[in-house]
Structure 1
Amino acid sequence: MNFPLELAPVETVAQIEAVARLYGEPLLELPKDLYIPPDALEIFLEAFEGPLDLLLYLIRKSNLNILDIPMAPLTAQYLVYVEAMRRHNLELAADYLLMAATLLEIKSRMLLPRPPRDAPDESLDPRAELVRRLLDYEQMKMAAARLDALPRVDRDHEWVSIFVAEKIVERLPEVSLHDLQLAWLKIMKKARLTQHHQVRRDELSVREHMTAILRKLSDGAFVVFDTLFEPARGPAGLVVSFLAVLELVKEKLVQVAQNEPFAPIYVKLADAANDT
């Protein structure tokens, strides 16, 4: 008899629900030949790194004074843990059994009567060596915890490397009007020192000087700015040559460059500069 889902009995709804899914398909009941090992699911509530770690855990858990350890309850609790560990993992039992024997020895020695003394002698306390080992172990454990709390690469942080592709392009300083002015004043000063005063009338042409300068730059190499001028022709010739250089720069026929500020100025044909 078929029932709608909302009106189906409780048993029918329970049969419709899948107990698991295998490769996305619902599994309505467990296979009859399914074997689950006894240790398939194992939960470790406490993990100890050795017998001293277990003893320290028991002392702190019971809020005991580590300098005055009651050996009877501590030994009983320790043996319970060791027995549980021995049933599950025999390889871990060797060191723990050795510590159990040590605890039993200390407990038996404390049960023996001791001669009365006026002042207690700590060297006769059978727990002294164990207390010393526990204190040293606790200090090392706390130091290891502080070191582990420090930031660590590949655990808390990751190195990030960025590759930046750069293309190195040589960029020459720009020649300003002030640099040309200083170079011009230097040439004029040299001309005053080497030129005698002569009164004559010269007809000078800027175009002729432009042609002469282009002829000097015809090999396509950089030429020092000062060598384009002939101080022997006097101030008038220098002025016309300077105007010719400015006119060539204005018409973009030559290129003026400077390696660094206040360095010598170089002049080169614009076509030759573009080719290089």
Structure 2
Amino acid sequence: MDNTLPLSQSDSIALLYGKPLDKVPAGLYIPPDALKVFLESFEGPLDLLLWLIQKQKFDVMDIPMATLTEQYMQYVELIRKNNLDLAGDYLVMAAHLMAIKSQLLLPLRKADTGEEVEDPKAELMRRLIEYQKMKLAAQELDRLPISGRDFSPVDVSKPESAPDLPDVSLDELRRAWRSVMARIKLQERHTVTREELSVREHMSSILKQLQTRSYVEFTDVFENTPTFAHALVSYLAILELAKEAMIRITQAAPFAPIWLTLSHREETLL
């Protein structure tokens, strides 16, 4: 039995102890599944043709059809007798290559209209070029990071006990103060009294409220303010506490409620 594998002289089927092997050793058993895995490594006849062209460094626009057809048939012959279902598409392409090769062997004739006859390889070259473009595009897409393969999404949530709210702007604080003043003027009585008010006492009162509550809304500080003078002193107490970094004034979004909370330094002291 002749075990010589029909390959070109420059190629070998394997390396044995560093030496090229150009024929299958006698008595070597090749499982049918090995041939199946071998051909399934290609994605179809065009993929096999493109691999042969690139391996031999052929020009796609000038393919030596005789050499390409011969090499292609060598690979198809490996599986034709073992797995005909797997080789079906490859056999169709083999017949197409044989037809092109036969047309190239015939004398070149001009058409009746006088125009030049189309090159039999033109359609095959067009399909190979399009397939090569699609394959390169697929490789470029595969290089892009893919969720679950190259990276894993991470869901990071802030603890509810320590929200990181943005600092309130001066315009928002001024707008809230004007709103409080407008409400107090509607309830204010025009009485003339002399009362000594202490900013320090109001600062202590605000700090006591914040000891029992994590957050106090800006307007709640003025909820039980009887007069404009009391409201003014409470507002100065808030500004003084913020200046001394004993409280933080925060607001989640423009026109949202303004909140007062103890600063980290004040919480440590308490």
Q: TM-score range by the shorter chain?
A: 0.5 to 0.7
- The one of 209, 227, 233 aligned to 1:234: 227
* Alignment-derived partner of residue 160 in structure 1: 144
1:2-61 Cα distance to aligned partner (Å, 9 max, x none): xxxxxxxxxxxxxxxxxxxx999xxxxxxxxx9x98758xx9961325355234224336
Unaligned runs of 5+ in 1: 1-21, 25-33, 69-134
Unaligned runs of 5+ in 2: 1-15, 25-55, 57-63, 70-92, 113-117
Q: Does 1:254 align with 2:247?
A: yes
Q: Please state whether the residue corresponding to 2:67 is helix, strand or coil.
A: coil
What percent of counterpart residues are identical?
A: 30
Alpha-carbon shift at residue 257 of structure 1 (Å): 1.4
Aligned amino acid, residue 195 of structure 1: E
| 8 Å contact kept, 1:258–1:266 | yes
Q: Please state whether the residue corresponding to 1:199 is helix, strand or coil.
A: coil
Aligned amino acid, residue 216 of structure 2: V
Normalising by structure 2, report the TM-score.
Answer: 0.52
Larger Rg: 1
* Alignment-derived partner of residue 209 in structure 1: 202
2-side partners of 1:177 and 1:51: how far apart? 83
* Alignment-derived partner of residue 184 in structure 1: 177
Alignment of 1:56-135 (within 5 A): 56-60=100-104, 64-65=108-109
Q: Please state whether the residue corresponding to 2:135 is helix, strand or coil.
A: coil
Q: Does 1:145 align with 2:128?
A: yes
Q: Please state whether the residue corresponding to 2:249 is helix, strand or coil.
A: strand
Alpha-carbon shift at residue 213 of structure 1 (Å): 1.2
CA, structure 1 residues 147+206, in 2 after alignment: closer, same or farther (shift >3 Å)?
A: same
| 8 Å contact kept, 1:194–1:232 | no
- The one of 40, 64, 67 aligned to 1:46: 67
Aligned amino acid, residue 244 of structure 1: A
1-side partners of 2:21 and 2:201: how far apart? 108
2-side partners of 1:23 and 1:146: how far apart? 39
2-side partners of 1:165 and 1:228: how far apart? 40
Normalising by structure 1, report the TM-score.
Answer: 0.51
Q: Please state whether the residue corresponding to 1:54 is helix, strand or coil.
A: helix
Alpha-carbon shift at residue 233 of structure 1 (Å): 2.3
1:225-272 Cα distance to aligned partner (Å, 9 max, x none): 111114642111111110001111111221211111110001122249
- The one of 195, 198, 203 aligned to 2:191: 198
- Equivalences, count: 177
